[in-house]
Structure 1
Amino acid sequence: MYDRKNQRNLTRTEKRRLVGAILELKRSGRYDDFVLLHREFYVSDGEDRPRAAHMTPSFFPWHRQYLLEFEKALRAVDPAVSVPYWDWTSDNTPGASLWAEDLLGGNGRPGDRQVMTGPFAYATGGWTINDGVSEQPFLTRNFGRPSSPVTLPGKDDVARALKDPVYDAEPWNSVSGTGFRNRIEGWGIRGSRGVSNHNQVHRWVGGSMSGAGSPNDPVFWFHHAFIDLLWVRWQKAHPRSGYRPGARTGGSGGDRERVFGLDEPMPPFGVAPSALLDHTRLYRYV
């Protein structure tokens, strides 16, 4: 059992050790393996193949296992390290503590959006983007996307999602109009609602956090630790509501044949959502 802390409460030593472990994974090539894995399993609901990671009920358990695998790799470097969470409903400005020089560094510079500060700046020599998403070898950010402004979600946005007593709903994809999963994952629905919560945060950070290669920016892990915490809070608020669908949904509808039921192993981990519903034997949020 170990703790996942709010990033704002990390000590100087905890920050230094966390950054050191992430940089070591990068040096070894292991970090880029995680980026490539996310790209591989970023399957849209317009594709005719199974989707476990996004636009799907297994969004929460898939990313929980993904974070656990990353955390395991970090802790193999330094057993004292765990993934902190970023509560973007509170720490919602470019001046928030996670963007400091001793943690993630700040926004990208005007023009090419290259991050010039902190341990993940390309200029320091320790962080090169290698996955081929773009030709740029450096980390980029574009806080708030000034050319087409976007804000971070607020506490009310999260509260509305947490109030939904249903985990997920048909058609089990990006246009599911109800259900906690899509309210948090945050796909916009034409004529109904815009992009929100999880997706809105990716857009606000911008740059490397946009698209399937988003783990290229280490803030990805902080963001998804908070998404995982929101799932914990929803479970506590709705103890009688469980993961849906409970079994393979069957039928002839395309989407229903591409999602993962409660006991179906998710690729590439071979772990079913049912095995990931309870985090308490592994870690706790403090």
Structure 2
Amino acid sequence: CANPVTRREIRQLSQGERTAFFNAFKELRRRGTFDFYPNVHLDNSPVIHGNSVFLPWHRRFVRDLEVALQSIDPSVTVPYWDWTIDSQNPAASPVFTAGYAGGNGSGEDNCVQSGPFANYEVSVPEPHCLTRDFNQGNGISTWWPAESLRLMVSDADTYTELREGLEFGQHGNVHLGIRGDMSTMYAPNDPIFFLHHAMCDKVWSVWQ
């Protein structure tokens, strides 16, 4: 690989770098090309989950989004979100603050009301606001701490063991903890989807 991409944990980005990432994300939608991502994930959902293609398909998916963002701002890469850091109180993660991706949804429709995606309109599967609906009201159930993730990775002797442990473990926990758009097959509406899957890809890369 002549020009490898270096991804960083989202907390390692400056405020300016985070803003550039989110602005490129929103600009992709403004240009009318973003809907490809939730649509293709939704349309292919039966064949990209629960089997061996889960990790490689999502690796390519995140990279394709990254290339599209770089066509808008070449400085942008997709950061990963190390959710083990926030495992014991996920809702208190800085990821859910206004300086990052905004917080939980509120109101009758659970629309995100803070941060760069406040009142953000998405189109898939039909027009609606970006939604989040934490599974414990204003909180989220605890997730795997770093040691649990490390043990899962070290105990996985085969790709299948790793993929199943990750997909049906922490990967699913994050989607079902945040809920809203994130708990659907059009989850790529939420930029957190890409932070989450960049982390899943990092876990696979470490195992490899």
Shift of 1:103: 2.1
- Aligned AA for 1:140? T
Distance (Å, rounded) in 2 between the aligned partners of 1:205 and 1:107: 8
1:132 matched to 2:129? The reply is no
Larger helix fraction of residues:
2
Q: Which consecutive unaligned segments of at least 5 residues does structure 2 have?
A: none
1:182 matched to 2:182? The reply is no
List aligned pairs for 1:1-286, cutoff 5 A.
1-43=4-46, 51=47, 53-92=48-87, 93-122=90-119, 127-132=120-125, 137-146=128-137, 150-162=141-153, 163-168=155-160, 179-186=161-168, 196-235=169-208
Shift of 1:102: 2.4
Q: Which consecutive unaligned segments of at least 5 residues does structure 1 have?
A: 44-50, 169-178, 187-195, 236-286
Structure 1 segments (4+ residues) deviating >6 Å: none
Distance (Å, rounded) in 2 between the aligned partners of 1:201 and 1:157: 15
Aligned residues: 202
CA contact (8 A) 2:188 2:194 kept: yes
Q: Percent identity?
A: 33
CA contact (8 A) 2:132 2:179 kept: yes
Residue by residue, what CA displacement relative to the aligned partner does 1:125-181 show, whole Å, maximum 9, x if unpaired?
xx3121126xx611111223349973323224312320211111xxxxxxxxxx111
What value does the CA root-mean-square deviation take over the aligned residues? 1.9
Distance (Å, rounded) in 2 between the aligned partners of 1:129 and 1:15: 21
CA contact (8 A) 1:153 1:201 kept: no
Distance (Å, rounded) in 2 between the aligned partners of 1:119 and 1:216: 14
Bigger radius of gyration: 1
Distance (Å, rounded) in 1 between the aligned partners of 2:83 and 2:140: 17
Distance (Å, rounded) in 1 between the aligned partners of 2:138 and 2:27: 36
Shift of 1:95: 2.6
TM-score using structure 1 length: 0.67
TM-score using structure 2 length: 0.90
Distance (Å, rounded) in 2 between the aligned partners of 1:234 and 1:199: 19
SS in 2 for 1:2: coil
- Aligned AA for 2:150? A
Shift of 1:88: 0.7
Distance (Å, rounded) in 1 between the aligned partners of 2:149 and 2:107: 31
